[in-house]
Amino acid sequence: MKRHQFKTSINAPREKVWQTLWSDETYPQWTAAFAEGSRTESDWKTGSKILFLDGKGQGMVSMITENTPNEVMSFRHLGFLKNGVEDLEEARKMGWSGAIENYTLKTVNGKTDLIVDQDITEDYEEYFLKSWPKALERLKALAEGKPLDELVHEGESSTANK
């Protein structure tokens, strides 16, 4: 498993970016780059379980390891949710259990820099390297109040680094 970093600079305050990341209204819009109909189920408290679900109710079981509003959100991925049943053993077998996903927001020159650090297994590396820039582009547009149908696809708004 490798840790990858994805970054973007957003012309909006941290509070707006935070709200865009985690609100029930905007989360499905920017995460559509990963899976249409994406949503979460959680109380958003540190130490609580969070479910990351696709449009069919399948997805990941994780734990919130840190929630410092407008600054840091961190998750530890534990397993999968399949047909309404949590499966933590399969993630262990795949070498994916315990993977970390961190979101850090920093104010730089009046904009918000969003840095996402994610542990990715080799099996999913290509998928995430393609999907994260698209997701960050969507997030940036939403936070800046721009229509999603006017997105630029040259990759200028976000970068992926190993």
| CATH code for the domain in which residue 56 is found | 3.30.530.20
CA-CA distance, 105 to 35, in Å (whole number)? 24
DSSP secondary-structure letter at 12?
A: S
Q: How many domains does the chain have?
A: 1
Task: Kindly state whether residue 30 falls inside one of the protein's structural domains.
Answer: yes
Which residue is listed with tokens 């960050």?
Answer: 136
Residue 153 pLDDT > 90: no
Spell out the residues 6+ positions from residue 96 whose beta carbon is closer than 8 angstroms to its own: 1, 77, 121
Task: Kindly state whether residue 53 falls inside one of the protein's structural domains.
Answer: yes
pLDDT at 96: 85
Range of the domain at 69: 2-152
3-state SS, residue 76: strand
Task: Kindly state whether residue 142 falls inside one of the protein's structural domains.
Answer: yes
pLDDT band, residue 152 (cuts 50/70/90): low
Model-wide pTM > 0.85: yes
Task: Kindly state whether residue 57 falls inside one of the protein's structural domains.
Answer: yes
Residue type, 150: E
Q: Which residues of 35-55 are buried (b: 16+ CB within 10 A; e: fewer)?
A: beebbbebeeeeeeebbbbbe
CA-CA distance, 153 to 149, in Å (whole number)? 11
Question: What is the mean predicted confidence (pLDDT) over 27-47?
Answer: 96
pLDDT at 90: 86
pLDDT band, residue 31 (cuts 50/70/90): very high
> ∠89-92-93 over CA atoms, to 5°?
90
pLDDT at 149: 81
